[in-house]
Chain A
Amino acid sequence: MKLTLKIWRQKNSNDKGGIQTYPIDNVSEHMSFLEMMDVLNEQLITQGTDPIAFDHDCREGICGMCSMYINGEAHGPDRGVTTCQLHMRKFKDGDTIYIEPFRAKGFPVIKDLVVDRTAFDRIQHAGGFVSVNTSGNTQDANAIPIPKDDADKAFDAATCIGCGACVASCKNASAMLFVSAKVSQFSLLPQGKVEAKRRVLNMVEQMDKEGFGNCTNTGACEVECPKGISLENIARMNREYLKASLASD
C-alpha cells in the first residue's frame, strides 16, 4: 500500500507544532499501525531526520500506552482495539491518514504524539485503591461471597487500561468514563465499599482539578473505548457521588 501520512509534529510542550506530510510506500496490510510507524521512523532516521515520538509498550492491547488520534478517532477506525491492535488492512491503498496526539487540557503534549497522562495517576492516587492489611495474614479475598452479577460488573470496569481514549474522543475532554470505571470496580465489591464515599468524592475532585471537562452524555467514550467500558459506570459514579455528597460528614 502507498499512503500519505499527515502527522502532528511538535518539538516540546512549548512549541506550537503543526501537521507535516510524509509519503510512505510498501506498507503491508498485515502490519499493525505501530509497525507502520516503525517503518516510517526507520526511513526518517536513514534520511537523518528526527523520528516521530509516539507512546507504546506491550503492543498487545493490555498496557494502554499507545494513543494516537487517527483519522479523527482515538485508536483509529476499528472498534474495541488499541492502536497497536489496529491493522493496516483497515486502510486502502492511496489513503491519506491524519495522525494526531490525544488532545485535552489534562493531557499536555510532551513531544509529537506523546502526551502526559499522569493526570490519570493523580486521580488514582486520590482514591483508586482499597486499604488492606498487608501484614502477612490478610484474609483471602475469595473467602468473601460476592454475587456473580456484581463480580462480573466489577471485572468489566476493572478492564479499563487507562489509555485515555475516552478523554480524547469526548467533545468536552471529559474523563468521567475512566474515573467511573475506577470508582465502579471498587464500589461494587465488599472490600471497596468501606472507602466508597471518600473515594468517589476525592477522585471526582481531583478529576475536576486536572481540568477535564463535564460529561454531556454523548456516548463517544463508550464507542471508542478499546475495552468497551459501559456508560452504566458513569451513571453509577453519579449515584455514588450524590449519595456520598448528601450523606458525607
Chain B
Amino acid sequence: MLKSSIARKVAMALSAFFLMIFLLQHLAINLTSVFSAETFNELSQFMGTNPLIQFVMQPVLLFGVLFHFIMGFVLEFRNRSSRSVNYVKNNGAANSSWMSRNMILSGLVILAFFCLHFVDFWIPEINTKFIQGDWTGVVAGEEGFRYFAELQHKFVNPIRVGVYCLAFVFLALHLLHGFNSAFQSVGANNKYTKGLKKFGTAYAILVPLGFIFIALFHHFNH
C-alpha cells in the first residue's frame, strides 16, 4: 500500500501524530523538573523502569522516529526527481509559507539535534540499564534518584543550551506547517479546520517554547 503517493503521505501523517503526542508527554514530564526535583525523579524512575514503556513504547517510539525521518527523505528525493529542470526564476514566497517549503531543512536540523540528544541522555540511559544492568536509578553514595542531577548537569554548558534552544526554534518551524499538514493528509478538512489551524499554531509555538524555558531555567538555576 505504501507504493502510492497518498498512502505515503498518510503514513507520514500518522507517524507525525504519534510524535506530536510523544512531544506533549515529554514536555509534561520535563516541566515537573522546574517545580519539583522529587516529582521529576519519581516520574523518570517510573518511565525508565516500567516494562510496558521500556519494552513496548520505547521500540515503538524508535520505530516512529526512524520511520518519519526515512520517509521524509524518501519523499524529498522522489519530489525533487519530479522536476528534473528547475525554474530560472521561482517566486515560492508568493504562494506558500517558508515553513512549508523547507520541511526537509527544519527536519535535518531536528535530526542533528536528535543525535546530540541521544548522546546526552538516551545512550547513557541504555548503557546504564541494558549494558551495566543497573535499574536502580541511584548512584552509589548519593541520596535519591540521579535523574534531576543529570538533567541539571547537562544544561550547565551555555553552548549546549544555545544549541538546544536553536533546535527548538526549528522544531517550532517544522510544527507550524507539519501540525495542520498532517490533518490535511489524512483527509480532515472540514468545519473544524479553521479552529484546528489556530490550535496547531499554538501547539507549534508553545511546545518548543516550553522546552526552551526548561533548558534556560536549569541553566540559570543550577
Contacts and interface: CB of A to CB of B under 8 A. Distances in A.
A189 interface: no
Contacts of B91: 71-73
A207 B10 contact: no
A3 B79 CA distance: 35
A218 B100 contact: yes
Give the secondary structure class of A's interface. Answer: mixed
Interface string B8-47: 1110000000000000000000000000000000000000
A237 B78 contact: no
Contacts of A220: 92, 95-96
Interface residues of B, number: 41
A214 interface: yes
A224 interface: yes
A177 to B, nearest CB: 12
Interface string B84-102: 1111111110111100110
Given A71-B91, A72-B90, A235-B188, A242 B10 contact: yes
Contacts of B85: 103
A216 B79 contact: yes
B82 A238 contact: no
A171 B87 contact: no
Contacts of A204: 4-6
A214 B89 CA distance: 22
23 contacts: A6-B89, A71-B89, A73-B95, A100-B87, A105-B84, A106-B82, A171-B96, A171-B101, A172-B83, A173-B83, A211-B82, A213-B82, A213-B83, A214-B79, A216-B79, A216-B100, A217-B184, A218-B95, A220-B96, A237-B6, A238-B184, A242-B187, A245-B7
Interface of A: 6, 8, 19, 69, 71-73, 77, 98, 100, 103-106, 169, 171-174, 176, 204-205, 207-208, 211-220, 223-224, 231-232, 234-239, 241-242, 245
